[in-house]
Structure 1
Amino acid sequence: MDRLEVMRLFTRVVERRSFTQAARDLAVPRSTATQVIQQLEDRLGARLLQRTTRTVRPTLDGEAYYRRCMSILDDIENAEGAFRGANPRGLLRVEVQGTLARHFLLPALPQFFERYRDIEIAMSESDRWVDVVREGVDCVLRYGALPDSDLVARTVTTLRRITCAAPAYLERHGVPSHPDDMTNHRAVGIRSLTTGSLTPFEFTCDGQTRRMDVASFFSVTGTESFRDGVLLGLGLAQMPVFHIERDLAEGRLVQVLPEFPPLSMPVSVLYPTSRQLSPRVRLFIDWVVQRFDAPQFKDQLG
């Protein structure tokens, strides 16, 4: 194998976490794959992979070499693609908040793969803040305010939010008619995995944004548990419309304080400043923008 083929094999082993699967993907014998990687480690004088009976993981040197390989291979893909007009190909590593993925992206993936047959997507679901460089992630889709970072952030849309509660909660505690009434209410809290702090309530009052903390006896970090807590009548919450549209339509949740709406929250795509976007990443980001611009989502956007 020449050096570029060795790089492709090495990156595939890292992504697949398996010599067997990487060898199968690239149509080479497993014994050849093992031998080639061993020769690579000998030539570099560094251990790149930690091998166990069940999996293969990159060492710190392996992670660094993997990032350099990906940069080189992406540059080659860019150069060749510009001349041959070929469709993008390869593995795309994406980190997405689960509710966004299930509602906006997953339903259209069959059409995506029908059009782009040479792209693979490895999608991880998480609300945590991801180290995209260390973890080898190409881009991240996030909902809400973003902490300061070295990542490039592109806002793709904003999502409309409302204040809501379960009918059982409102029967017990009454319906607030003004943000001042929130001192007599409790909230289901959503806690940031990055900072550990509770997200305050926001209200638009006379053209100004008013933020306030509401007493919370139950708080979570996950969006599904957040919704479940509100449905169980544990408190008021401010949530994106797309996540609870059916609950509102079927009466499981009720909007309150519609005259004082919270601010819409951005949805952003993030990627490293140090990494040139490959054609497949640019294509995916453009596709995400188109998905959020689809007519069926119009009432859910801010």
Structure 2
Amino acid sequence: MDKLTAMQAFVRVVEAGTFTKAADTLGMPKPTVTRLVQSLEQQLQTLLLNRTTRRVTVTADGAAYYDRAVRLLGEIDELESSMSRAKVSPKGRLRIDVGSSVGTLLLIPALPDFHARYPDIQIDLGVSDRPVDLLGENVDCVIRGGELTDQSLVARRIGEFHLILAAAPSYIKRNGVPVHPTDLEDDKHRVVNYFSHRTGRMFPFVFHRDGESIEVEGRHSLAINDSSAGLAAGLAGLGIVRTTTFQAAPHFASGALQPLLLDWCGESIPIHVVYPPNRHLSSKLRVFVDWVAELFSRSDLIHRKCSLPKPGATQPAEQDAAVAVAA
């Protein structure tokens, strides 16, 4: 038995929760993973996992072995990197997950720069707004907006999104312009709402001005759970949309959207790079996290709140570049 491979298989089964998921992420047949873990148990003469038809759980001995195995595998990975050119030029595969708007408008357009710096790193990119199980899905890190709900995860704050209200000219022509946040609850107005992937709960609209805060639900004909879809709905004139300044700025400049209630600033949402506490921060993950932090720090639109370009305004070349890579 290759003890190192068996140890890696055991760790992956614990993190994934099933042999099937572990086999998929390892790129191995399920029987091979099962055999490796069984051989490890036989050699250690102890039961590491409790098996059921749906899921496996770790025993007390298995939990202790898992903690030591994760640290040992991380040290081996770092040792191999330090003894090769990987320390200077990191290499390997990274599984990253990002929200749809960040992926399409910010990260993907900027990836040529990352690959130019680190040509030996392969990125498998998941793009959606759904919550991700980092351990179960074997994801190295995620980039997400919002407050952290799982305090066991490691997070690095890299910026913040600024929410703003907008509508298409066609909507404004039909329904008029709201002059106060409470107007969103009038019969004549409709909003594009955003609901939680987990609970289905609608997120309220929150506004701030001069120390005053107002929270309204709004009346909706359409609710979505994806930020890019919400922006598309706003552009189609389906209602007043709550979006981010970095997503909306190009459409404000073209006149496809008009900002609303600019004297009431919307919420600011923190952006984090998040990874599991037991995931060794390898050189390849470290350089990616640093690169993403740099990308967000130089994006003008990420830091911009209610000050936005007027329709038809020409932006400086530096801001054009920010529009191209921000979102």
TM-score by length of 1: 0.77
Aligned to 1:258: 262
Distance, in Å, in 2 between the alignment partners of 1:44 and 1:216 is 56
Distance, in Å, in 1 between the alignment partners of 2:81 and 2:150 is 34
Change (3 A) 1:35 1:240: closer
Distance, in Å, in 2 between the alignment partners of 1:71 and 1:274 is 8
Aligned to 1:238: 242
Distance, in Å, in 1 between the alignment partners of 2:301 and 2:215 is 25
Deviations 1:144-188 (A, max 9, x none): 334344212221111232210111111121111222322322211
1:268 aligns to what SS in structure 2? strand
Deviations 1:63-113 (A, max 9, x none): x99998665433212234456644333221111112101222112222322
2:25 to 7, 10, 15: 15
Distance, in Å, in 2 between the alignment partners of 1:232 and 1:67 is 52
- Give 1:209 deviation, angstroms: 3.1
Distance, in Å, in 2 between the alignment partners of 1:162 and 1:209 is 15
Structure 1: unaligned runs, 5 residues or longer: 20-33, 49-58
Distance, in Å, in 2 between the alignment partners of 1:118 and 1:68 is 29
Aligned to 1:151: 153
| 103-112 vs 285-294, greater mean Cα deviation | 103-112
Distance, in Å, in 1 between the alignment partners of 2:204 and 2:281 is 35
Deviations 1:6-43 (A, max 9, x none): 66799796436356xxxxxxxxxxxxxx9898566545
| 263-272 vs 176-185, greater mean Cα deviation | 176-185
Distance, in Å, in 2 between the alignment partners of 1:152 and 1:70 is 16
- 2:271 counterpart letter in structure 1: V
| 141-150 vs 127-136, greater mean Cα deviation | 141-150
CA contact (8 A) 2:194 2:224 kept: yes
Distance, in Å, in 2 between the alignment partners of 1:189 and 1:272 is 31
Aligned to 1:292: 296
2:99 to 72, 97, 100: 97
- 2:193 counterpart letter in structure 1: G
- Give 1:255 deviation, angstroms: 0.6
* RMSD between superposed Cα atoms in Å: 3.4
- Give 1:300 deviation, angstroms: 3.6
What percentage of residue pairs aligned between the two structures are identical? 34
Aligned to 1:130: 132
- 1:253 counterpart letter in structure 2: L
Structure 2: unaligned runs, 5 residues or longer: 13-21, 50-54, 305-327
TM-score by length of 2: 0.72
Change (3 A) 1:219 1:67: farther
